Amino acid sequence: MSKGLFITLEGGEGAGKSTNLAFVQQWLQRAGREVQVTREPGGTELGERVREILLHRRDLQMSPESEMLLMFAARAEHIVKIIAPALAADKVVLCDRFTDATYAYQGGGRGIPPDRIAVIEDWVQGDLRPDLTLLLDVPVAAGRQRAGQRSEPDRFERENNEFFMRVRATYLARAASEPGRVRVIDASQGLEKVQRQIAMVLEEVVRDR
Ligand code: T5A
């Protein structure tokens, strides 16, 4: 049986995903695992081009449905080229965002019904789902303040607080409905405390797998 493990990192703006990704990677490597780090949207040549359109092409208007389908187009390529082969080679795939982000941003944020997202999820992913999702949770105002230090906001970062409150609520609802897979990390604390929480979850979930 494959020992591959699929771990995703999720959270709203300024939650600290990039900051903590390296910590998770190092933890896994110290535990003797081979790690494939990747991200969404992105991870492949096509995916990175789609990411550029989704995040940085301010001149392009798109409907919520087009936005969602572009996320899944990038994801389909990502699964075939990167994720599935790495899992088949018994690696740990550590992915910065995955389909929970589609439910949170295109579902909660843009208002696409979750059952419509689920249809595409099943079609594109088959039975592929993350084994573990670390949801870095921070109140919207605090997260936006952290993210606000960055110079040029992307297309999502220009949305208003209500949008990000819906995103956060959707993430938390998903965590409540799948508590075994989605572990909520209180990311409003200092970095040391955040990483202590992450290490405890990794210890519990990953150590023996
Ligand atoms: N998207 C994505 C969708 O809409 N649908 C989808 O299906 C998918 C896959 C992707 C965008 O695409 C959307 C969601 C996103 O808007 P992204 O690059 O993944 O973009 O998203 P960002 O939210 O911009 O992610 P980052 O990882 O770049 O930023 P974060 O999570 O905001 O984190 P980070 O680490 O850069 O931290 C921000 C600042 O906070 C500080 C850091 O030092 C940094 O300055 N910080 C802390 N400060 C104090 N205490 C802590 N505990 C701290 N943790 C971090």
Segment 43-66 mean pLDDT: 95
Rounded CA separation 133/149 (Å): 26
Segment 38-61 mean pLDDT: 95
φ/ψ (deg, to 5) at 90: 65, 20
φ/ψ (deg, to 5) at 25: -60, -45
pLDDT at 209: 80
Q: How close is the Cα of 142 to the center of ligand 1, in Å?
A: 12
Please indicate, yes or no, whether the overall pTM of this predicted structure exceeds 0.85.
Answer: yes
- Which residue has the least CA distance to atom 37 on ligand 1? 16
Which residues have C-beta within 8 Å of that of residue 62, sequence separation ≥ 6? 70
Segment 94-105 mean pLDDT: 98
Question: Is 169 or 157 the better-scoring residue by pLDDT?
Answer: 169
Ligand 1 pocket, mutate which of 8, 18, 103, 195 (most atoms under 8 A from CB):
18
Segment 78-89 mean pLDDT: 98
- Using alpha carbons, select from 111, 125, 119, 106 the residue that is nearest to residue 66: 106
Look at the block and give the residue holding tokens 């949801």.
135
Segment 117-128 mean pLDDT: 98
pLDDT at 147: 87
pLDDT at 151: 72
Q: How close is the Cα of 13 to the center of ligand 1, in Å?
A: 5
Segment 150-162 mean pLDDT: 88
Q: Does any ligand 1 atom lie closer than 6 A to the CB of residue 14?
A: yes
Does the pLDDT at position 136 exceed 50? yes
Does the pLDDT at position 2 exceed 70? no
- Which residue has the least CA distance to atom 15 on ligand 1? 156
Segment 119-135 mean pLDDT: 98
Q: Name the percent of the chain lying above pLDDT 70.
A: 98
Does the pLDDT at position 180 exceed 90? yes
Which residues, in sequence order, are bridge partners of residue 184?
135
Does the pLDDT at position 1 exceed 80? no
Residue 7 tokens read as: 């771990």
Which tens digits make up the pLDDT trace of 192-209? Answer: 999 999 999 999 998 778
Give me the long-range contacts of 152-160 (CB less than 8 A, separation at least 24).
154/55, 154/56, 155/54, 155/55, 155/56, 155/57, 155/58, 156/13, 156/55, 156/105, 157/13, 159/109
Residue 1 tokens read as: 């049986």
The residue range of the domain holding 119 is 5-205
Does the pLDDT at position 88 exceed 90? yes
Question: Is 204 or 150 the better-scoring residue by pLDDT?
Answer: 204
What is the average pLDDT score of the chain?
Answer: 95
Assign residue 96 the CATH number of its domain.
Answer: 3.40.50.300
Q: What total number of domains does the chain contain?
A: 1
